[in-house]
Amino acid sequence: MKIGYARVSTTDQDLKLQMDQLTKLGCKKIFSEKISGKSSNRPKLNELMSFAREGDTIIVTKTDRLARNTIDALTIAKQLKDNGIGLKLLDLGDVDINSDLGHVIFTVMSTFAELERKRINQRRKEGQDKAKAEGKHLGRHKDTVLRLKILELLRSGYSKNSIARSLNCSRTTVYNVAKEQVDIANSDLS
């Protein structure tokens, strides 16, 4: 049986192209998920690994969709090989991943996928550092309406846990707002 695996890193990305390719190749079942490839705990991949049986072939559109680091990629490939399950990566053509040559090619491609991930992270960090040096705001802006509600409830004597529950926000947010108020009060005393 041909089984497909499709993955994108964020919920903003679309699985449609991968799903269409896998369907055209005759995959009877396709496992798909929106989760980072750096995570070794990917529920749908784990489900796929449990579902596949000897003689099945798993098809993935690109090497970096399966894993973002070489060790994970080789571990997955070895587990499949040990269970008699084939692995076909469309970006590697018709190379049998379980052959000696296929294993070498797969290792090299996995290494490049890992390198690309590191380069993306490096470029992101450089961009953040540049923006920070230019005085630009990084991250989410503070929700002033939520902060005012938190302050109002804190002044009314509500507990931090009850405030978090009633406003559907994290306790960390409530604690941060409370701490900011203490810091402001302390700086006024100085």
Q: Which residues are known to be catalytic?
A: 9
Distance, in Å, from the CA atom of 67 to the CA atom of 39, rounded to the nearest integer, reads 9
The encoded tokens of residue 55 equal 């003689």
For residue 28, give the amino acid letter. Answer: K
Distance, in Å, from the CA atom of 91 to the CA atom of 68, rounded to the nearest integer, reads 15
The encoded tokens of residue 17 equal 């192209």
Q: What is the DSSP string of 87-131?
A: EEEGGGTT--TTSHHHHHHHHHHHHHHHHHHHHHHHHHHHHHHHH
